[in-house]
Amino acid sequence: MDQADALIMPDPMNRQIASRLEEVALLLRDQGAGAYRVNAYLRAAAVVRSWPEPLGDVFRSRGLEGLEALPGVGISIARAIRELLMHGRLPMLDRLRGTGDPVRVLASAPGIGKRLADRLHEELGIDTLEELETAAHDGRLASVAGFGEKRLATLRDALAQRLGRVRAAPVTVGPAPSVTELLDVDREYREKAASGELQLIAPRRFNPRHEAWLPVLHTQRGHRRYTALFSNTARAHERGKTRDWVVLYVEDGPGEHQFTAITADHGPLAGQRVVAGREAECQAMAR
């Protein structure tokens, strides 16, 4: 092989990333996502596979903007490529496969064992190290027993060092969607799940027989893309809410939101669907 041939040979890491993007596209297609979204991942995979420059070099020299500048690679897919480059895994792909384990991810943080990771995941809804870092700064961790200021400072420093290479600047997200929109997606998911219209996946947690029981919905409202699933958390199982609580993941381009829709069991909204943490807005909407 001469030097010219070496320059045009696909980079091995590029090929691996392209395979992950293709897997995302195929899972999205099988789970009923829109053709535009499926094709976007397929086009990006084709570009990445044949790109002459290693994407690792692109990211090191030009950051996220360099990845986004690739033909057919927008901000959402650029962020996915960044995750694969920096961590070797893609949380979105884990969700699509039904194999995500947020407790294991949280437990990998300094000073966070499995028991505490379980509490943070169940009580605060934290799934990723990035969300843990945010919670360490916005006051939520301070409300958890055992988190004094010294421990919080240590965790903040450790996460800053660990995650600092992932982004040169904070990732911004658009405005949170309205409760009306969230509850409409919740309605669509529950109706289609009840009628058997949705693809079933086999979640990794609390599923010793590896049964495909969890319906997944991919839908869109304007520019926002949603993935909806019943909650498969320990608390949902303990309280018998695995067919009531619905987790909504919202991609709005530059970032991702996560919400949970539930049936209120007390107060003025008892028996009605609400978005956890946004009950006041739900009550105002119901007036």
Please state the separation of Cα 259 from the chain's center in Å.
Answer: 11
Cβ distance 243 to 215 under 8 Å? Answer: no
Which of 287, 273, 278 has the alpha carbon at shortest distance from 189? 273
pLDDT, the chain, mean: 83
**Predicted pLDDT of residue 103:** 78
The mean pLDDT of 136-151, rounded to a whole number, is: 78
Residue 174 predicted with pLDDT over 70: no
Please state the separation of Cα 24 from the chain's center in Å.
Answer: 13
Cβ distance 67 to 166 under 8 Å? Answer: no
Half-sphere exposure of 75 (CA within 13 A, CB side): 11
| Distance in angstroms (rounded) separating the CA atoms of residues 162 and 149 | 20
The mean pLDDT of 270-284, rounded to a whole number, is: 89
pLDDT bracket for residue 205 (50, 70, 90) = confident
Please report the DSSP string for 56-73 in residue order. HHHHHHHHHHHHHTSTT-
pLDDT in tens, 59-110: 999 988 999 999 989 888 998 999 888 877 787 887 787 766 677 778 878 7
Task: Tell me the three state secondary structure of residue 211.
Answer: coil
For the ranges 64-78, 110-124, 174-188, which has the lowest average pLDDT? 110-124
**Predicted pLDDT of residue 261:** 94
Task: Tell me the three state secondary structure of residue 287.
Answer: coil
Dihedral sign of CA atoms 193, 196, 198, 199 in order: positive
Task: Tell me the three state secondary structure of residue 233.
Answer: coil
The mean pLDDT of 18-44, rounded to a whole number, is: 91
Instruction: Give the chain's end-to-end CA distance (angstroms, integer).
Output: 73
| Distance in angstroms (rounded) separating the CA atoms of residues 109 and 212 | 31
- How do beta strands 246-251 and 256-263 pair? antiparallel
Q: Which domains does the chain have, with CATH numbers?
A: 3-95 (1.10.150.110), 102-163 (1.10.150.20), 179-286 (no CATH)
**Predicted pLDDT of residue 7:** 44
